[in-house]
Amino acid sequence: MAVIKRILLLMLVVGASTQAHTQVGRYMVFFKEKNGTPYSISEPQEFLSQRAIDRRSKQGIAVTEKDLPVNPAYVESVKSIGVDVFFTTRWMNGLLIQCDQTLVDDVAALSFVDRVDFVAPNARLLGNGRKKVPIKQKTSRVANVTSTQLEQLNIDDMHQEGLHGEGIVIGIFDAGFGGVDVIDPFAAVIAEGRIDLEASKDFIINSDNVFQYDPHGTEVFSVIAAYQSGSFTGGAYKAKYQLYVTEDAATEYRIEEYNWLFAAERADSAGVDVVNSSLGYSTFDNNAMDYPKSALDGKTAVVTRAAQWLADRGVLIVCSAGNEGNNGWQLITPPADAIDVLSVASVDAKGARAASSSKGPSADNRIKPDVAALGVGTSVIFPNGSIGAANGTSLASPLIASFAAGVWQKYPDLTNKEIMTLIRQSGSLAHAPNNLLGHGIPDFTKIESYLISLEKNPFSVFPNPFLDSITIKPFSPGMVASCVATLITAEGKKVFETTLSFTREEPSITAKLPGLAAGVYMLKLQWKNGSQTMKLAKQ
């Protein structure tokens, strides 16, 4: 535990000053490089927990220079100017500060500083602000109200197989978790120490107390983790959890995207497996911060980039698609546009799309949202312990996060992206996905049959038609480690043959095929226990 605590402290570098709080704002300072950092990718244990290292290793993901902490000497130099310094970001090589605007130019003038961006007004990061409100608990004893939302995904079958999220660590990024530490539906989680209090963090005011603020996070968390015998069952109620307050419900500024980034890096370092984020960012209180619809391209919004970086490190991310479907915006909200994030639409108990559920596609024309779950009348626990119903993709998302935890628990040797593929392909619309419900409502009972079908035809080959090369990719290197690829003309003449070996580090291989005449070819892939043949067209 001491090692994890030291690692997490690398991200928190608080330095108080006596500056007068006039025209105080919060700013992101970005450094030009990481020269002189005392950290090395050859010693990742200095900044990543063993669980985080193991996650990468298992999925064939290398630790890179992007993972190195910022140079602490840079942080000290910024601090010496008289500003308050707070959270650092490894992936964007930066630092959050709070200071009078008159000091910003001094920070920007430092030789190693690339730029300084304004992200929010006012001082919020010295522990001032909202206080914890005492919770008056109200006990609910009603028939199990979660059956509809669980049965729609066949999570009840998942539970019958003994899969409740055991051994999976789920991170929740939200607006606060009031009452979670004191109300009955979370009693088992608290008593069994399944919330990682060392990792959990409030990034809004820089507090270690996440059990306060807006009820939204409590409701979202309850869909996953709450349990009350006979009345309420969360989707993955036996998992372990990390709780992060990244959303300031009172305002909307870019800082909340950076809070999400800080939480992502902290969760990554602490060894999270699955993240649920029922948050989205498109417009802000400062109109200059707004994103245009063209920014929904999977690589522009800060929170989208943060989500993709987290996914690239082996974490499975589930997020709400957004509730903009019947207003002027209509589309998904970042980070739902990220390529390797499962964005979730909202449906009612009959599977019909909620009118408010945000639509796709992404700006670069990818299918979004990815899947759907119950977001109309979803049963939740309120901060006072009572059971009620709430609406929105915010409640659909934790159902899919629970589903993902159970699938990964059952198939622990698969990667995050392979689990995402399974979830999509188990959907009710997998045969014809659209930009309203994506691949539809996932079905736990279809996962195994889809995997069995993959064992017979595990390879995908693209593009088709092709010009002068094709890429060959098994669903999982663990399924087929090597094969012989043979390309044959329509007349039966062999024109290409090679042996291919697949690893986690190299999960797909591109074969160069220059000089072939246009026409139809047959590609045969032969491996130890089977073969697969497909028709390809050469342009």
Residue 14 has pLDDT above 60, yes or no: no
The confidence score (pLDDT) of residue 529 equals 86
pLDDT > 90? residue 5:
no
pLDDT for 6 equals: 57
In one-letter notation, the amino acid at residue 476 is S
Q: Is the dihedral of CA 347, 213, 175, 208 positive or negative?
A: negative
What pLDDT is attached to residue 9? 62
> So where are the chain's domains?
2-121, 147-453, 458-538
In which band, very low, low, confident or very high, does the pLDDT at 141 lie, cut at 50, 70 and 90?
Answer: very low
Predicted confidence band at 479 (pLDDT cuts at 50, 70, 90)? Answer: confident
To the query of whether residue 356 is one of the catalytic residues in this protein, the response is no
The model's pLDDT over 376-429, given as tens digits with 9 standing for 90+, comes to 999 999 999 999 999 999 999 999 999 999 999 999 999 999 999 999 999 999
Mean pLDDT estimate for the chain: 93
Going by pLDDT thresholds of 50, 70 and 90, the confidence category of residue 56 is very high
Q: How far apart are the first and last CA of the chain?
A: 58
- 431 pLDDT band, cuts 50/70/90, is very high
CATH number of 458-538: 2.60.40.1220
Q: Helix or strand or coil: residue 405?
A: helix
Torsion of CA 66, 67, 68, 71, to 10 degrees: 60
Q: Which SS3 state, helix, strand or coil, does residue 119 take?
A: strand
User: Does residue 342 register a pLDDT over 70?
Assistant: yes
Residue found under tokens 């619809």:
293
Confidence check: pLDDT of 439 > 50: yes
Q: Which of 67-71, 136-140, 308-312, 440-444 is the least confident region?
A: 136-140
Query: Percent of the chain having pLDDT more than 70?
Result: 93
Let me know if 174 is a catalytic residue: yes
Residues 89-135: pLDDT tens digits?
Answer: 999 999 999 999 999 999 999 999 999 999 999 999 975 444 454 45
On the question of pLDDT at 15 being above 60, the answer is no
**Separation CA 77–CA 357 (nearest Å):** 47
Lowest model confidence (mean pLDDT) among 227-241, 282-296, 308-322, 492-506: 492-506
Selected catalytic residue, list 49, 164, 214, 216: 216
pTM, two decimal places: 0.91
Give the active site residue among 200, 379, 394, 397: 394
CATH of domain 147-453: 3.40.50.200
Find out whether the peptide bond into 465 is cis, omega within 30 degrees of 0: yes
Q: Are 85 and 94 in contact (CB under 8 A)?
A: no
Quick check: is 312 catalytic?
no
The active-site residue out of 67, 84, 174, 248 is 174
Which range (140-144, 375-379, 500-504, 525-529) has the least confidence? 140-144
Mean pLDDT, to the nearest integer, of 20-37? 88
The maximal CA–CA distance of the chain, rounded, in angstroms, is: 83
Residue 4 has pLDDT above 60, yes or no: no
Within 10 angstroms of residue 410's Cβ, the number of other Cβ atoms is 18
Whether the predicted pLDDT of 151 surpasses 80: yes
Query: What is the torsional sign of CA 367, 371, 376, 379?
Result: negative
